[in-house]
Structure 1
């Protein structure tokens, strides 16, 4: 066994390494087996959603935003135009046809790996790393698109559980998905308390993607990935060897 294998590190791949569709399927299959072999996989996802519940405190005063009375006329016009353009989205949100925000919380360590999997599953999102698991901030919020994204991601990697959190029609929901099927529902504060504070603010409608960037959060956009780049990222997180491969 090599030092890399002993230490659990991913060995460097040669620059001309070819990662074929067959190898990708093999890697995903092995990844699924690792999750399925771990009897605690769903328990870990559940405890992740339920951990640190005392850390979440909903305070309406904290999420109230104040206008800037000193804004110049140009800013006022721009804001007025923005409000007019977003009126339809707000209306759709109020009647439940469009979510205000939606995230998929995972147990994956790396944001680029989550972004690669999202690209392979045709999911458009910004991905953010966190020590408790990478989060995908979904772009498509129309209808049941968030639920479809959670279904598609967990169908592609059938052994990986995720938690979908959606803010729709002024109501937050949090649902465990595995193998394409919805399961247990959680109290949303429990889920949000185990995500980065910036994500919690976004889900509550206090901040936007641009605000997250301004706060210095490193976001990875799936729009920057094509099929080949996604496969390369997966290969970078994959350790090949006898008996198959593992994705880290």
Structure 2
């Protein structure tokens, strides 16, 4: 297994893309730190399932991704529990849909904090550990919105463009230390985050649910199919392999052809 005896920290991993990535790493032998909010019983069920299904250890960090000190504590928890932080996936993200002139300032601050600043804080604490061991893999979940924009998503698009730039900068800084930094930019993935933004988009655009799915979401993707969480997880696992050791500083699109247009 490619990640046996290594430790992976995956933020925003109690559901959706993050959970699929965490399970993908566990299948490759990594011990896992999952992170995120949710009902305690649901989180414990997922944590226990990772251990029982894959024969690895898994712990949950409740760190709030809008608070830098708690993010540092999450990295410290991983190091103290498992002895290393080898893989970091900055995946936590939230969404809010509104015209700029109506966009609540507190929502702007929250989205920038959770979708962008949290990745900086996690890398700030994890990179020294990776450099010391001369090996590490950092994967940032970006979005097709790191390359193109959509109306009514000013904070999200700004944060994801920022993630792309942060990825490139970090990759250059750690290039000689056996550490790679990349971002994956999915198109629309069927996750709770996408499903939950449908009502706001219905309101903002005056559309039905079916119109939002077909005419807004999948309209952007020439394949007319949602990306799956397992496809994103498989790419994340590949980026941690020896075959991917010379892939760094990249923004890899997985968007059904969206950004090719």
TM-score normalised by the chain length of structure 1: 0.25
- Who wins on radius of gyration, i.e. which is larger? 1
Where is the helix percentage greater, Structure 1 or Structure 2?
2
TM-score normalised by the chain length of structure 2: 0.25
Where is the strand percentage greater, Structure 1 or Structure 2?
1
